[in-house]
């Protein structure tokens, strides 16, 4: 008897146990119910053991699988950062932490600790903590000046990049003597270096050199630093690479490759200098990996279904997807994962109804290239041909250091289901297309990306012909800012605009946001004003230009963009006289920064779709805008 596919879920936050035998993830089902998932990694494939109901918001949650299969889950509330232990069918509350946020890290099995963690102090220091199995308090193990980043467990060493006065160094904590004797960090090399990946007792480093960085391997417990040859075949691959793991022998490195909207995978032999390109399905890989004697495991998302695990067998040349099927009897709330590599159901699909097959064909994402203002712009396109389909939506990603990929996008799929073709461009400023494309946005927020967006819009208009309905605009976070900016300064190409969690300008975001966001604004040049005909890209200043039917939504608990920015914009647009006759603002009382589409059934996404598909009202320039709080 063939098992029926389980309902599709959204998955994120995959992490692996220190020995690579288990994995854990966060998930949501079709109703939006959130779960912690436990996975067992076997030579024949992965198996989803069970799901536990989860209370936390995904954006601030984290999971850590233990070597015995249990899972620690961290989540936040107004009372602090909570830690629960998920074991069999039980969820056991453990410690609550009220200090600076903790980053969970694995602990050696014989150390007497469930987990390790790092916190950052306001004075620029970092503290290493431990949680005993028989206690509910985080212990302070060691404090160091500087920031501890990229923590990795390799044997009995916990290695980090320690950033002190802007200089990175690779350091390791010796955990062999037990938690009570953890001493100061020991440098792994006398050269400046950043920790990239570990495996086989080795640590892969990036060593700064004039004009860039150079890869190097060093043992976790002292030894020779081996620099990669400057003429290595790895340097001739051409695409941006992200090392994700070292194999158990310490002689091979797996690199994730970014090729525009697609992900790739390369295996590099350190001694042989052989580079082998791995066959990868169209989709997006996540930079998490467990590499054991049986092979490597990575999270993979494709347009057809939610993120799941994919396996690269020990000597394999192709990454193999697992498919979700009904679980074994007696596993409450769980679904098994078939070990059959890349096997799919009769419909040719992974997962739930409507994923693919004949009925789902319009969802099939593809990559198309459009003319930008200074060169080609790649876009992910969902739905029927944009030239002939009546409804068209241009979707803008957040970030701005991000890009659309061929991953599972429930909200964009929902847009297709109500009749839209979605064009999701990776304009200048997007990652994945080389340094020049990404860095073009530095000191030019709302300048080069707006120019590319208008060039794409002009191409869409010409390709659709006279009389075609103008496209709608949608964006979240930075994409919301760019969508509103474009609608305010060039209203003619757009039939509607939806903006989720916009900010008013780079300088005002820097003034009001939390330190990580402020650092991002500085790093990406968001403080410099434009000096062209439009002038400074401040949405409150430019609001009088808005003529497009517009919906702005913002979560009250937004941890990245203060809701005060949308409130100020709403007040400006609701002035006397109002600047726009068709503006609606909705404040979401239970929402944070997570954009619509974080569940298959999302009431916020449903309201966005209702707005986009509503008949266009007759012009009413004197009608005040509607302000709603939900």
pLDDT exceeds cutoff 90 at 533 = yes
Per-residue pLDDT tens digits for 457-487: 999 999 998 889 999 999 999 999 999 999 9
Which of 204-218, 333-347, 489-503 comes out lowest in average pLDDT? 333-347
Whose structure tokens read 């990694």? Answer: 41
Helix (H) or strand (E) holding 370: strand 366-371
What would the mean pLDDT of 114-119 be, rounded to a whole number?
A: 93
Residues 6+ apart with CB under 8 A from 415: 382, 383, 393, 395, 422, 474, 609, 612
| Biggest CA pair distance of the chain | 75
pLDDT band, residue 108 (cuts 50/70/90): confident
The reported pLDDT for the residue numbered 630 is 52
pLDDT of 277 strictly over 90: yes
Size of the chain, expressed as the number of residues it contains: 630
pLDDT of residue 59: 63
Q: Distance between CA atoms of 84 and 286, rounded to whole angstroms? A: 25
Where would I find the H helices in 275-387? 357-360
The single residue listed with the structure tokens 């590599």 is: 341
- Taking residues 398-404, report their average pLDDT: 92
Arithmetic mean of pLDDT, 145-158: 92
Is it the case that residue 629 has pLDDT exceeding 60? no
> Hey, is 486 helix, strand or coil?
helix
Position 577 pLDDT exceeds 70:
no
> Can you say how many angstroms the Cα of residue 381 is from the centroid of all Cα atoms in its chain?
20
pLDDT for residue 356 is more than 50: no
356 or 367, greater pLDDT? 367
- Angle (CA) 443-478-546 rounded to 5° is 95
Res 431: pLDDT:
92
Q: In Å, how far from its chain's centre is CA 479?
A: 15
Count of CB atoms situated within 10 Å of the CB of 366: 12
Q: What is the pLDDT of residues 222-248, one digit of tens each?
A: 788 999 988 898 888 777 789 999 999
Q: Does the pLDDT of residue 339 top 90, yes or no?
A: no
Above 50 in pLDDT, residue 581? yes
pLDDT for position 221: 86
Mean pLDDT, range 359-382, rounded to an integer: 85
Tokens representing 229? 């040859």
Contact 379, 456 (CB under 8 A): yes
Q: In whole angstroms, what is the distance from residue 318 CA to residue 315 CA?
A: 9
Tell me how far apart the alpha carbons of residues 254 and 244 are, in angstroms, rounded to a whole number.
6
Sheet of 252-259: strand order equals 241-246, 252-259, 262-269, 275-278
Give the separation between CA 270 and CA 427, rounded to whole angstroms: 36
pLDDT over 90 percentage in the chain: 59
Indicate the range of 233-247, 291-305, 379-393, 578-592 predicted with least confidence: 578-592
Long-range contact list for 214-219, CB < 8 A, 24+ apart? 215/243, 215/253, 216/189, 217/246, 217/250, 217/270, 218/170, 218/188, 218/189
Residue 331 has pLDDT above 50, yes or no: no
Across the beta sheet with 376-382, what order do the strands follow? 366-371, 376-382, 420-425, 391-396, 472-476, 496-500, 550-555, 583-588, 626-629
Reported pTM: 0.82
Q: Would you state the pLDDT for residue 381? A: 97
Task: Tell me how many degrees the CA angle 125-129-134 measures, rounded to the nearest 5.
Answer: 165
Lowest mean pLDDT among 374-378, 458-462, 477-481, 614-618: 614-618
pLDDT tens string 421-450: 999 999 999 998 988 999 999 999 999 999
Q: What's the pLDDT at 353?
A: 27
Average pLDDT of the chain, as a whole number = 85
């Amino acid at each position: 008897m063939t098992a029926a596919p389980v309902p599709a879920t959204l998955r994120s936050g995959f992490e692996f146990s220190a020995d690579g035998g288990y994995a854990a993830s966060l998930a949501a089902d079709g109703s939006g119910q959130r779960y912690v998932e436990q996975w067992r990694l076997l030579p024949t494939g992965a198996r989803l053991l069970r799901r536990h109901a989860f209370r936390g918001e995904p954006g601030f949650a984290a999971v850590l699988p233990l070597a015995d299969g249990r899972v620690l889950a961290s989540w936040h509330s107004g009372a602090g950062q909570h830690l629960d232990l998920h074991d069999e069918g039980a969820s056991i509350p453990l410690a609550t932490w009220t200090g600076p946020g903790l980053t969970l890290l694995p602990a050696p099995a014989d150390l007497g600790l469930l987990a390790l963690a790092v916190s950052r102090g306001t004075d620029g220091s970092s503290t290493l903590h431990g949680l005993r199995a028989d206690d509910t308090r985080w212990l302070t193990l060691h404090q160091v000046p500087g920031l501890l980043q990229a923590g990795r467990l390799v044997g009995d060493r916990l290695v980090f990049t320690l950033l002190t006065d802007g200089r990175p160094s690779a350091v390791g904590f010796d955990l062999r003597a037990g938690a009570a004797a953890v001493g100061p960090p020991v440098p792994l090399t006398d050269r400046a270096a950043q920790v990239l990946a570990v495996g086989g007792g080795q640590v892969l480093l990036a060593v700064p050199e004039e004009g860039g960085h150079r890869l190097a391997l060093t043992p976790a417990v002292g030894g020779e630093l081996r620099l990669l040859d400057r003429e290595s075949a790895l340097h001739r691959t051409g695409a941006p690479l992200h090392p994700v793991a070292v194999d158990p022998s310490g002689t091979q490195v797996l690199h994730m490759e970014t090729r525009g909207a697609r992900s790739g995978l390369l295996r590099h032999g350190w001694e042989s200098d052989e580079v082998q390109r791995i066959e990868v399905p169209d989709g997006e890989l996540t930079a998490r990996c467990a590499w054991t004697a049986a092979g490597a495991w990575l999270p993979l998302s494709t347009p057809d279904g939610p993120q799941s695990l994919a396996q690269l067998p020990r000597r394999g040349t192709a990454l193999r997807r697992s498919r979700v099927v009904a679980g074994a009897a007696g596993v409450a709330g769980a679904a098994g994962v078939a070990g059959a590599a890349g096997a799919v159901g009769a419909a040719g699909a992974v997962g739930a109804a409507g994923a693919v097959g004949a009925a789902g064909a319009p969802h099939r994402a593809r990559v198309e290239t459009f003319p930008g203002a200074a060169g080609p712009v790649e876009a992910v396109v969902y739905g029927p041909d944009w030239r002939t389909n009546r409804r068209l939506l241009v979707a803008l990603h957040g970030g701005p250091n991000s890009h659309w990929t061929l991953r599972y996008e429930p909200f964009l799929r929902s847009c297709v289901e109500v009749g839209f073709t979605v064009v999701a461009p990776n304009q200048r400023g997007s990652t994945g297309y080389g340094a020049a494309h990404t860095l073009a946005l530095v000191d030019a927020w709302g300048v080069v990306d707006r120019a590319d967006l208008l060039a794409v819009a002009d191409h869409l208009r010409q390709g659709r012909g006279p009389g075609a309905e103008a496209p709608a605009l949608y964006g979240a976070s930075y994409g919301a800012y760019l969508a509103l900016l474009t609608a305010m300064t060039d209203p003619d190409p757009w039939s509607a605009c939806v903006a989720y969690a916009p900010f008013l300008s780079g300088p005002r975001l820097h003034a009001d946001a939390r330190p990580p966001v402020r650092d991002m604004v500085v790093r990406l040049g968001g403080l410099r004003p434009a000096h062209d005909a439009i002038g400074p890209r401040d949405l409150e200043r430019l609001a009088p230009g808005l003529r497009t039917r517009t919906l702005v939504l913002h979560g009250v608990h937004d941890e990245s963009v203060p809701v005060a920015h949308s409130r100020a914009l709403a007040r400006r647009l609701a002035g006397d006289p109002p600047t726009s006759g068709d503006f609606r603002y909705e404040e979401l009382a239970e929402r944070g920064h997570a954009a619509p589409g974080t569940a298959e059934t999302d009431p916020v996404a449903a309201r966005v779709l209702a707005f986009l598909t509503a008949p266009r009202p007759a012009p009413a320039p004197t009608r005040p805008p509607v302000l709603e709080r939900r």
